[in-house]
Chains A and B, each alone.
Chain A
Amino acid sequence: MAHLLEVKNLRTYFHTEAGLVKAVDGVSFHLDEREIIGVVGESGCGKSVSQLSMLQLIPTPPGEIVSGEVLFEEANLLDYRQNSPQLRAIRGGKIGFIFQEPMTSLNPVLTVTRQITEVLELHLKMEKHAAQSRALELLKLVGIPDAARRMNDYPHQFSGGMRQRVMIAMALSCNPKVLIADEPTTAVDVTIQAQLLEVMKEMVERFRSSLVIVTHNLGLVARYVQRIYVMYAGRVVESGTVKEIFGDRRHPYTIGLLKSVPRLDQTKSERLVPIEGLPPNQMNMPPNCAFLPRCPYRIARCEREAWPILRPAGGKHFVACHVDVDVKERARETARS
């Protein structure tokens, strides 16, 4: 069966004054009907750019989508011109976006209702009055308290969490097939994060949409997503179901990522171990594995050969690594105990 959304070999580069930045360099992923997936990786690894590129929302220049396909409803979205009517019909209509910073991502001079009604008027051809009552309904659905009284308020009159709820209402207003949430909880309090994820999950279930949650916090989203893509330096280095990634992680980066993430089921004695070293400079990258300088499992082959491609590791599990870490890690764990 064809996937709802499939991205193939996407490459997005930025031509900056300092040089060429290969922000996304050959990323493939897919999303099925009513599925929730996570895209995880450190800051700067190309998560946002990969998502924005799908709808050509990156600034050009300096950005350039060099190659790839974005297959959605039997069309390749990259065939459309940047502001073509076909692409605009999909933006906000069939694929909705939620951005990281709810303060700066909502327009400060328009009321929250206006920012929702304009999408309804545009895609669903609703007239003003109908759009307003629909907007109020949506605000109630995402849990804005006292929504009727607050619908004509401006973004600055809401707290961070409430603004993000407004964003959710806005992104889902036209009942899109796909909702992309780019670090939706990064800018809010820890206590609010789980609430927002709950609201999102509830909403995509109600609207029968699929959801992509982009995050640098693997632990936070684990219980909401079905599959996970782990990105490093502009590529996917490991992907699989939650069970595969948590139970049988293979890539040294994923292993490090999980050690550095606090989890609810963790006992206090297990210390958090941040990954050593810095994320790579995505300019003038060497041809071999970008994680090599930070990798505790590296072998001679990693130095010699090009960045490994994703290879199947059973089930839906894929991993891009020369080393069979699983064996080594097991050996280590045994040695430790």
Chain B
Amino acid sequence: MQYYYWLGGICRGNLGRSLVYKEDVSALIGKRLPVTVHLGLVSLFISVSLGITAGIVSAVTRGSFLDQLITLLANVGVAIPTFWLGIMGIYFFGLKLGWLPIWGYTSPFQNFWLSTRQLVMPAVCLAVVPLAMMTRQSRSSMLEVIRQDYIRTARSKGLKERAVIMRHALKNALILIITLIGLQVASLFSGSVLVETVFNIPGVGRLLVNAVFSKDFVVVQACVLVVAALVAVVNLATDIAYGWLDPRMRQG
């Protein structure tokens, strides 16, 4: 019965009241969501842009020293615990070298420079594992595409290797890679729970952790709902990207 009240509330934009904060959950999340989305988007941008580039370079120069180096780094990257990386980052760049602030979050609209400096470490830490995954998967997608018949056709037309890769291979590889971006967003959020805790960032991830520890189930429920909604939005975006990249999807 409670569940129906809760559902009804959501439809009216009411997520309930926190047991601990004694505040509207919508308001709680509303303040923290932009923080997590900011962090997540920056990380996603880092992992996707660098990952696709590294993966494609690696595939195209298959077997070279560069390919071996990228593959090695990616294999290490996948296995690095985000938590440990965060602590190491704080220790070296924050405490030893004093280059970057070690905690906190400022809105970029308030103070862009401070905001960016504060976000560098958490965003990079959060990006490492998805970046490594993205690199590995882009490499294998590209290798898969390169051995297709239409690539041989492109070469048989006398095209430069650059045109073969950029015009003929890339778009096909992106179709394979896009699927993975959707999957990454879910894992990015689980990473942001850790990163927000380590760097003391007031985002949805930390709110969730605190809520779990204080048994504030109303907030936990709401956080999970928000994450699910985010994942749904991303899936919609990837579907749109699919239709744009792959003409076979356009008219079903």
Contacts and interface: CB of A to CB of B under 8 A. Distances in A.
A107 B247 contact: no
Contacts of B247: 108-109, 111, 154, 156
B248 A154 contact: yes
Interface of B is mostly: helix
B153 A107 contact: yes
Given A101-B149, A104-B148, A104-B149, A109 B157 contact: no
B156 A57 contact: yes
Nearest to B175: A109
B161 interface: yes
Interface stretch (B1-9, B164-172, B193-201): B164-172
A46 B161 CA distance: 26
Contacts of B161: 83
Given A107-B168, A108-B172, A109-B247, A92 B147 contact: no
A135 to B, nearest CB: 13
Contacts of B148: 104
Interface stretch (A37-45, A117-125, A137-145, A329-337): A117-125
Contacts of A59: 147
A121 to B, nearest CB: 10
A96 B158 CA distance: 9
A109 B152 contact: no
A109 B241 CA distance: 13
A96 B161 CA distance: 18
Given A108-B248, A110-B167, A118-B167, A92 B150 contact: no
B59 to A, nearest CB: 14
A110 B247 CA distance: 8
A107 B172 contact: yes
Interface residues on A, range: 20 to 34
A88 B160 contact: yes
A105 interface: yes
A337 to B, nearest CB: 49
A7 interface: no
A192 interface: no
B144 to A, nearest CB: 13
A78 B157 CA distance: 17
Contact of B246 (A89, A93, A109): A109
A90 interface: yes
Contact of B172 (A88, A91, A109, A111): A109
B159 A122 contact: yes
A137 B3 CA distance: 67
Contact of B158 (A106, A107, A111, A123): A123
B250 to A, nearest CB: 9
Among A57, A106, A107, A111, max chain B CB count under 10 A is at A107
A14 interface: no
Nearest to B251: A157
A231 to B, nearest CB: 21
Nearest to B147: A59
B156 A55 contact: yes
A232 interface: no
Contacts of A111: 247
B159 A108 contact: no
B149 A91 contact: no
A318 interface: no
Nearest to A89: B158
Given A109-B171, A109-B175, A99 B157 contact: no
A60 B233 CA distance: 44
12 contacts: A57-B155, A88-B158, A88-B159, A90-B158, A91-B155, A92-B157, A93-B158, A96-B156, A107-B150, A110-B167, A122-B157, A122-B159
Given A89-B158, A104-B149, 20 more contacts: A55-B156, A59-B147, A83-B160, A88-B159, A91-B156, A91-B157, A91-B158, A93-B158, A101-B149, A104-B150, A105-B152, A107-B153, A107-B168, A108-B246, A109-B175, A110-B168, A118-B157, A119-B157, A122-B157, A154-B247
